[in-house]
Amino acid sequence: MVDRLDDAARARALADLPEWRLVDEPEGISRRFIFGDFSAAFAFMARVALLAEKADHHPDWSNVYNRVDILLTTHDAGGLSQRDIDMARAIDALLAA
Ligand SMILES: C[C@H](O)[C@H](O)[C@H]1CNC2=NC(N)=NC(=O)C2=N1
């Protein structure tokens, strides 16, 4: 079990994740990724899926051709938690690598 971040912690975390935006209902953070084609988008999703399984923390996401929309929220906490922040960082790191 993990706690929902309070306002101060949320603001600190988001300052470090400029590509992600805060969303409501469910409370979480989201980012849109655009790739060259479906194959590149799906390869990215496969890598995120492995991260998600390792962390036991899974994205709410959708894919349309070369676009992947990811929403990270912690169902167990009813909002944004440190697990979402950690996952966002790990996803960003995939792209930086
Ligand atoms: C039982 C299991 O650990 C939980 O359901 C995990 C699995 N993956 C999860 N993923 C996300 N995004 N939020 C959760 O609260 C969550 N909970």
3-state secondary structure of 58: coil
Atom 12, ligand 1: residue with shortest CA distance: 58
Rounded Cα–Cα distance for residues 5 and 48 (Å): 23
Return the sign of the alpha-carbon dihedral for residues 18, 96, 4, 52: positive
Tell whether the model's pLDDT for residue 97 goes beyond 80.
no
Distance 9 CA to ligand 1 centre (A): 21
- How much is the pLDDT for 81? 98
What's the pTM? Answer: 0.95
Distance 35 CA to ligand 1 centre (A): 27
Residue ranges of domains in the chain, CATH in brackets? 7-96 (3.30.1360.20)
pLDDT in tens, 15-45: 999 999 999 999 999 999 999 999 999 999 9
- How much is the pLDDT for 1? 75
Beta-ladder partners of 5: none
56 in contact with ligand 1, CB cutoff 6 A: yes
Beta-ladder partners of 94: none
Atom 13, ligand 1: residue with shortest CA distance: 74
Query: What is the pLDDT confidence band of residue 51, given thresholds at 50, 70 and 90?
Result: very high
